[in-house]
Chain A
Amino acid sequence: MISVRGLRKHYEVHQRAPGLRAALGSLFKRTYKTVRAVDGIDFTIAAGERVGFLGPNGAGKTTTLKVLAGLLHPTSGEVRVDGHEPRRREESFLRKITLVLGQKQQLLWDLPPSETFELNRAVYGVERGAFERQMKEIVEILDIGDVIKRPTRQLSLGERMKCELCAALVHGPKLLFLDEPTIGLDVGMQAALRDFIRRYNEQHGATILLTSHNMADVSSLCPRVILIDRGTLAFDGSLEDLVRRTRPEKRVVLRFSSPPPAGTVAELGTVVKQDDASAVLQVPQSDVSRVVARALGALPVHDLDVVDPPLEEIMADVFGRRASSRELPEPGTGEPS
Chain B
Amino acid sequence: MNVRGTLRALPTLLRIGFAEALAYRTEMLVWILSTTMPLVMLALWHAVAREAPVGRLGQADLVAYFLAMFVVRQLTGSWSVWLINMEVREGTLALRLLRPIHPLVSYAASSFAEIPVRGLLAIPLAGVALVVLAGDRLTRDPALWAMWAVSILGGWLITLLVNFAIGCLALLIESSTKIMDVWLAAYFVFSGYLVPVELFPPWLRGVVDAMPFRYQLGLPVELMTGAHDHATALALLGRQWGMVLVSLLLVAVIWRRGLRRFAAYGG
Distance (whole angstroms) from the CB of B232 to the closest CB of chain A:
43
Tell me how many residues of B have a C-beta within 8 Å of chain A.
Answer: 31
Distance of A195 from chain B, by nearest CB (Å): 25
| A105 proximity list for chain B (CB < 8 A) | 92, 95
Interface residues of A (CB under 8 A from B): 11, 63, 66, 69-73, 87, 89, 91, 94-95, 97-99, 101, 104-106, 108, 110-111, 115, 118-125, 151
Contact: B20 with A111, CB < 8 Å? yes
Q: Which 8 pairs across A and B sit closest by C-beta, in order of nearness?
A: A122-B12, A110-B23, A122-B9, A73-B263, A106-B95, A94-B100, A91-B100, A123-B101
Known: A71-B267, A72-B263. A97 touches B98 (CB 8 A): yes
Query: Complex: how many Å from CA A119 to CA B8?
Result: 12
Q: Which of B58-79 contact A (CB under 8 A)?
A: none
Q: How far is the CA of A66 from the CA of B23 in the complex (A)?
A: 32
Asked if residues B20 and A71 are in contact (CB atoms below 8 Å), the reply is: no
Give, as a whole number of angstroms, the nearest-CB distance from A101 to chain B: 7
In contact, A71 and B9 (Cβ under 8 angstroms): no
A94→B98 contact, CB < 8 A: yes
**In this complex, what residue of A is CB-closest to B262?**
A71
A91 touches B95 (CB 8 A): no
Contact partners of B95 in chain A: CB under 8 A: 99, 101, 104-106
Knowing A104-B90, A106-B95, A123-B100 are in contact, say whether A11-B24 is a contact too (CB < 8 A).
Answer: no
* Given A91-B100, A110-B24, 16 extra CB contacts under 8 A: A11-B266, A71-B94, A71-B266, A72-B264, A99-B98, A104-B90, A111-B19, A111-B23, A118-B16, A119-B12, A121-B12, A122-B8, A122-B9, A123-B9, A123-B13, A125-B8
Chain A residue contacts of B12, Cβ below 8 A: 118-119, 121-123
Q: Binding site of A, secondary structure by majority: helix, strand, loop or mixed?
A: mixed
What is the minimal beta-carbon distance from B73 to any residue of chain A, in angstroms?
25
Q: In the complex, how many angstroms separate the beta carbon of B173 from the nearest chain A beta carbon?
A: 12
B5 interfacial contact with A, CB 8 Å: yes
Residue in A71, A124, A151 whose beta carbon sits within 8 Å of that of B97 in the complex = A71
Query: B1 — which chain A residues lie within 8 A by C-beta?
Result: 91, 123
Interface flag for B34 (CB, 8 Å): no
List residues of chain A with CB within 8 A of the CB of B264.
Answer: 11, 72-73
Residue from the list A11, A95, A110 in contact with B265, Cβ < 8 A: A11
Interface positions of B (Cβ within 8 A of A): 1-2, 5, 8-9, 11-13, 16, 19-20, 23-24, 90-92, 94-95, 97-101, 106, 260, 262-267
Contacts of B106 in A (CB 8 A): 123
- Nearest chain A CB to B146 CB, angstrom units: 32
CA of A69 to CA of B5, assembled, Å? 22
Minimum CB–CB distance for B95 against chain A, Å = 4
B90, A115: Cβ atoms under 8 Å?
no
Give the shortest distance, in Å, between B258 (CB) and chain A (any CB). Answer: 13
Contacts of A70 in B (CB 8 A): 97-98
A104–B91 CB distance below 8 A: yes
Instruction: Kindly provide the distance from the CB of A289 to the nearest chain B CB, expressed in whole angstroms.
Output: 52
**Nearest CB of chain A from residue B141's CB, rounded to whole Å:** 41
Residue of A73, A101, A115, A125 touching B94 (CB-CB under 8 A) = A101
Cβ contact within 8 Å between B266 and A63: yes
A262 to B108, CA, bound (A): 76
Complex Cα distance, B13 from A107, in Å, reads: 14
- Contact across chains for B263 and A104 when beta carbons are under 8 A apart: no
What are 24 A-B contacts with C-beta separation under 8 Å?
A: A11-B266, A71-B262, A73-B260, A73-B264, A91-B1, A94-B98, A94-B99, A98-B98, A99-B98, A101-B91, A104-B91, A104-B94, A105-B92, A106-B95, A108-B16, A110-B23, A110-B24, A115-B16, A118-B16, A122-B8, A123-B9, A123-B106, A124-B99, A124-B100
